[in-house]
Amino acid sequence: MRKLKNSELDRLSVEEFKQSTKTRLIVVLDNIRSLNNIGSVFRTSDAFLIEKIYLCGITAKPPHKDIHKTALGSTETVDWEYVEDTLTLIEKLKDLKIKIISIEQAENATMLNDFTPEKDTTYAVVFGNEVKGVQQDVVSASDRVIEIPQYGTKHSLNISVSCGVVLWDLFGKLS
């Protein structure tokens, strides 16, 4: 078996990406403090053709060298917007009939592997702060809360890892 060269990967150009049909997923970053995590979320969102990323609260926005270090150019492909208040954004998205999913450990959360998305629905997936998680008022305003099953001794995953797991799972279920 031979590793493929980058030239053999048949990747989209920036223009082709912009014109492509997107996955009916929106990412909302609720007060993410690590610029490397933000860049990783951009890169993962590019990989799964995510519609848009909303950067909220203290979440830094491009251009920034530490975001670009992990984003590897995906800040130029994935549409993004900064909104100061996450809850205000959530209310706006709900008015547009977008279903809100907070990724959090909460009472009555649905395990990711048990969640089946509706095919003709757009979902906004909210990922929270590295220490405090998704704000409680945002969790309360969500249509549902999804938890990533974990079986070890730790109680959480890094936000960029959580994003990768969730987007990969939902992309597969929506494709």
29-70 pLDDT per residue, tens: 999 999 999 999 999 999 999 999 999 999 999 999 999 999
Euclidean distance between CA atoms 151 and 137, whole angstroms:
28
For residue 1, is it within any domain? no
**Contact (CB, 8 A) for 46 and 72:** no
Tell me, what's the pLDDT at 14? 95
For residue 168, is it within any domain? yes
For residue 53, is it within any domain? yes
- CATH number, residue 126: 3.40.1280.10
Give residue 101's domain range: 20-174
For residue 127, is it within any domain? yes
For residue 14, is it within any domain? no
Euclidean distance between CA atoms 24 and 138, whole angstroms:
20
Structural domain total, the chain: 1
Tell me, what's the pLDDT at 157? 96
**Contact (CB, 8 A) for 22 and 93:** no
Three-state SS at 143: coil
For residue 133, is it within any domain? yes
For residue 86, is it within any domain? yes
* 73-130 pLDDT per residue, tens: 999 999 999 999 999 999 999 999 999 999 999 999 999 999 999 999 999 999 999 9
Euclidean distance between CA atoms 54 and 16, whole angstroms:
22
For residue 12, is it within any domain? no
**Contact (CB, 8 A) for 149 and 157:** no
Query: Is the pTM for the entire model greater than 0.85?
Result: yes
